Amino acid sequence: MFTRSSYLEKIKPFIDKPVIKVLTGIRRSGKSTLLKMIIQELKSKGVQDNQIIYINKDSLEFEFIQTYLQLYEYVKGRIPSEKTSIYLFVDEIQEIEFWEKAIGSFHTDEIADLYITGSNSGLMSSELATLLTGRYIEFFIQPLVFSEFLEFREAAIHQSEVEFEHYLKYGGFPGLHHMEFTDDVIKQYLDAIYNTVILKDVVARNNIRDVHLLERIIRFIADNVGNITTAKNISNFIKSQHLKVSVDTVQNYIKWSMNAFIIHKVPRYDIRGKAQLELYEKYFLSDIGFIYVLSGNKFADISGKLENVIFLELIHRGYAVEIGKWNQLEVDFIASKNGKKIYLQAAYLLSDEKVISREFGSLLQIQDAYPKYVLSMDKHFGDDLNGIKWMNIKDFLLSKDW
């Protein structure tokens, strides 16, 4: 079992602290494995098996736990008679009706140190979950970023070029690394994840009747990753195929897909006016492998894929991300963390003076002192320009200097 140390190190300070640890993220992103890593960490410090209660709602073994009362009774029945610390782990807790009532009670009564996972971003935003406000800390778990992908592949840095091609094609779901790395095998595996998320976390959870419409919307987003998009654009495209759909329906389907972590929305920010704009956002997929599932491996998608990979790296490192507008110029990413910013432009290749002028031009207009990068897949680089750093995308993803 590979250790995803970046997440484990974030969680460790909260072990045995009186807050509920909530791990959220798309299915198969590694939440269950992280729970097992935490259990291993506890055992290495002397915690005994009878102090650990582990419930995995994806397992038929726990099919009988359907409601908060059944969860409460099961846990109470497992607590040893002698007074000792108890650690409760519940995986995919959203499958238990009104789970918040039981978890809230366990926390109030100090019955256990609590760890829960869920595959829906609305997990802690429901009316009932507000009962837990101030009593939990949330950790967002993503599929592998490129540096983790290399670790799972057990590939040295000098092999990173060929592995980056694999990553751009297949994405970062950890389970890939138990598979034979061939197109047929990986495609079937990714199809299975995608269909499970669509059916269980979007269609069933939101009582969607028109599954084909939902799939058309997500496919449109996959085909337009990195492009500015609106719900009206999507509605107009679907109408052009002689189908009826309202903008409101498109917005709802997008929201529910975001709740299931299939897609992320990145808002647009007016750098000069210092205000967030309500229209013309970008959408990115939670894993680059979904583009392979939905659109194949088309070279025409390369620029959008590269932007998608950079976006996933930024949020993995804890940045809040927006796209930028300066007058009529666009900035691919404004990334903010702890009061600091970085500005990023991404391109496949800076192939001629026109492309170079376009990619550097918008950043040259921004006069603040925050770091600015132009990222591309070029192998030979010229000098930085007026403080704007030019880097290879792969090197940027692996760098710890930003």
The pTM of this model reads 0.94
Return d(Cα 190, Cα 197) in angstroms, integer: 11
The letter for the amino acid at 376 is S
Which residue shows structure tokens 């507000």? 130
Mean pLDDT of 105-133: 86
Residue 130 contacts residue 104 (beta carbons within 8 Å): no
pLDDT of residue 73: 98
What confidence score (pLDDT) does residue 386 get?
87
Greater pLDDT, 387 or 124 = 387
pLDDT at 151 over 90: yes
Predicted pLDDT of residue 207: 96
Looking at residue 325, what is its pLDDT? 81
Q: What is the pLDDT of residue 1?
A: 61
* Residue-level pLDDT at 155: 82
Give the residue, 80 or 60, on which the prediction is more confident.
60
The residue-averaged pLDDT of 320-346 equals 92
How crowded is the C-beta side of 144, counted as CA atoms within 13 Å? Answer: 27
The pLDDT, as a whole number, for residue 240 is 95
What is the predicted pLDDT for the residue at 379?
A: 84
Tokens of residue 234, six digits: 């999507």
Q: Is the pLDDT of residue 38 over 80?
A: yes
- Tokens representing 362 are 């918008």
What integer pLDDT is reported at residue 385 of this predicted model?
84
Is the pLDDT reported for residue 276 higher than 80? Answer: no
Q: Stretch 213-224: mean pLDDT, rounded?
A: 96
For residue 128, the model assigns a pLDDT of: 59
In this structure, of 52-56, 82-86, 96-100, 214-218, the range with the lowest mean pLDDT score is: 82-86
CB contact at 8 A, 118 and 92: yes
221 SS3 class: helix
- Count of Cβ atoms closer than 10 Å to residue 298 Cβ: 11
What integer pLDDT is reported at residue 347 of this predicted model? 95
Residue type, 382: G
With cut-offs at 50, 70 and 90, classify the pLDDT of residue 127: low
pLDDT of residue 229: 92
